[in-house]
């Protein structure tokens, strides 16, 4: 099928910034530097922080506010402990019981969080209401009037639709969850399928927020990767989620953005093909380092104006936009993708 007519839209994609703002503009040997590439939409696929301190979230929000984009869609990741209240109040607070060092600098607590942190660090089981209040402080930074005015939208798991000033409509399925490991936030058992409706005749309940079928979603935005797509961890392990892969095959979004696996940075042009390995014929998208350094991003055009437009419903562009390397150095380039989005009202 040929892609329908639409509105060309530029999307800047990042993930796993772990509190690191873009490097100074004069640091021309690093593509992740100020300013972030201008775009219509900025997507952040989680791991906004290292461990979810309030000051980390504050720095990340200021970075997002400074980005030149009309709409800035954000999800959390496993490191963003204070954005997962259930996890933080049951275990995550243990990780806040010792001072952390962030980017070589001590973490300084602000006045409004000092009493909460004192409570968390001084008692075996901190008061539940204190821990919930500390989590709310973090979420408020992404949802308050100032953040909304700057175009920031914090997305909970589920489907969300937005209309841009260009008239383009963007529907996103978002989820901060990934298979659990080492008891970090937003984890689920690998055997749990939270993304696909229960099969006919199954006695298993359907998940609360399943991914909808094609053509309901333009972009999938999850923290963790689907299985076998930019999810390889040396020496020989694919750590992505098989349930996400099945959901992506049903949804067939134009773009699927994720992070989580730092060593998986890159992009794959995937053709849905039942005869290919894992149901996807994968073609790596080539990136040129000199070009990325000059433009501060890896650019790829799949709009109808490009030499090779995306075949909507037959292809999905998969992007792992982890900014940090495996050594937590912020050295990977943002991805900047041009694609067509449907016109609102059609």
Q: What is the pLDDT of residues 148-195, one digit of tens each?
A: 999 999 999 999 999 999 999 999 999 999 999 899 999 999 999 999
Domains contained in the chain, CATH given: 7-341 (3.60.21.10)
CA 202 to chain centre: 31
Phi, psi of 96 (to 5 degrees): -105, 15
Q: Is the pLDDT of residue 244 over 90?
A: yes
As a whole number, mean pLDDT of residues 242-250 equals 97
pLDDT at 41 (0 to 100): 98
As a whole number, mean pLDDT of residues 102-111 equals 53
191 within 8 A of 179, measured Cβ to Cβ: no
Quote the CA–CA distance of 134 and 118 in Å, as a whole number: 11
pLDDT at 54 (0 to 100): 87
Q: Is the pLDDT of residue 3 over 50?
A: no
Quote the CA–CA distance of 90 and 54 in Å, as a whole number: 18
- Of the ranges 114-118, 258-262, 279-283, 318-322, which one carries the lowest mean pLDDT score? 114-118
First to last CA, the chain: 18
Name the nearest CA neighbour of 267 among 194, 336, 170: 336
Q: What is the pLDDT of residues 300-317, one digit of tens each?
A: 999 999 999 999 999 999
The dihedral through the CA atoms of 80, 219, 226, 20 has a sign that is negative
Instruction: Give start and end residues of each alpha helix (H) in 169-269.
Output: 242-251
As a whole number, mean pLDDT of residues 136-145 equals 96
Dihedral (Cα; 332, 156, 158, 91), 10-degree rounding: 90
Name the nearest CA neighbour of 17 among 291, 299, 334: 334
As given in the structure block, the two tokens for residue 252 are 């067939």
Q: Which residues contact residue 149 at a Cβ distance below 8 angstroms, ignoring those fewer than 6 apart?
A: none
Q: Which residues contact residue 278 at a Cβ distance below 8 angstroms, ignoring those fewer than 6 apart?
A: 227, 228, 245
As a whole number, mean pLDDT of residues 201-227 equals 93
Q: Which long-range contacts (CB under 8 A, 24 or more apart) does 138-144 make?
A: 138/52, 138/54, 138/57, 138/80, 138/82, 138/83, 139/82, 139/83, 141/54, 141/57, 141/58, 141/61, 142/57, 142/61, 142/74
Quote the CA–CA distance of 78 and 222 in Å, as a whole number: 11
Q: What is the pLDDT of residues 71-96, one digit of tens each?
A: 999 999 999 999 999 999 999 988 87
Beta-sheet pairing, 187-188 with 158-163: unpaired
314 within 8 A of 343, measured Cβ to Cβ: no
Strand order from edge to edge, sheet including 69-74: 152-154, 69-74, 39-44, 7-14, 335-341, 298-301
Phi, psi of 113 (to 5 degrees): -110, -10
Phi, psi of 28 (to 5 degrees): -75, -5
14 within 8 A of 262, measured Cβ to Cβ: no
């Amino acid at each position: 099928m040929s892609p329908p007519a639409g509105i060309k839209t530029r999307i800047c994609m990042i993930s796993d910034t772990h509190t690191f703002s873009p490097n100074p503009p004069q640091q021309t040997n690093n593509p992740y530097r100020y300013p972030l590439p201008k775009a219509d939409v900025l997507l952040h696929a989680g791991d906004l922080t290292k461990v979810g301190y309030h000051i980390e979230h504050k720095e990340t929000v200021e970075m997002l506010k400074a980005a030149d984009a009309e709409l800035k869609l954000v999800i959390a990741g496993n490191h963003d402990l204070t954005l997962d209240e259930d996890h933080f109040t049951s275990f995550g607070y243990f990780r806040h019981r010792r001072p952390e060092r962030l980017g070589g600098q001590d973490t300084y607590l602000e006045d409004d969080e000092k009493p909460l942190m004192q409570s968390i660090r001084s008692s075996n089981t901190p008061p539940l209401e204190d821990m919930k209040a500390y989590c709310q402080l973090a979420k408020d930074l992404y949802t308050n009037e100032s953040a909304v005015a700057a175009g920031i939208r914090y997305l909970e798991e589920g489907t969300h639709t937005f209309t841009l000033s260009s008239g383009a409509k963007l529907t996103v399925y978002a989820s901060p969850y990934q298979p659990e490991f080492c008891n970090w936030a937003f984890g689920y058992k690998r055997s749990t399928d939270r993304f696909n409706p229960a099969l006919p005749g199954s006695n298993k309940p359907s998940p609360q927020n399943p991914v909808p079928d094609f053509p309901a979603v333009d972009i999938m935005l999850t923290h963790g990767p689907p299985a076998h797509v930019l999810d390889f961890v040396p020496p020989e392990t694919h750590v992505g989620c098989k349930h996400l892969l099945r959901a992506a095959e049903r949804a067939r979004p134009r773009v699927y953005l994720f992070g989580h696996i730092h060593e998986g940075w890159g992009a794959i042009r995937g053709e849905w093909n039942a005869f290919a390995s894992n149901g996807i014929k994968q073609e790596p998208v080539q990136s040129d380092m000199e070009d990325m350094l000059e433009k501060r991003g890896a650019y790829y055009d799949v709009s109808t104006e490009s030499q090779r437009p995306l075949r909507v419903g037959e292809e999905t562009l998969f992007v792992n936009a982890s900014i940090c390397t495996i050594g937590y150095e912020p050295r990977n380039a943002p991805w900047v993708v041009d694609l067509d989005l449907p016109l609102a009202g059609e």
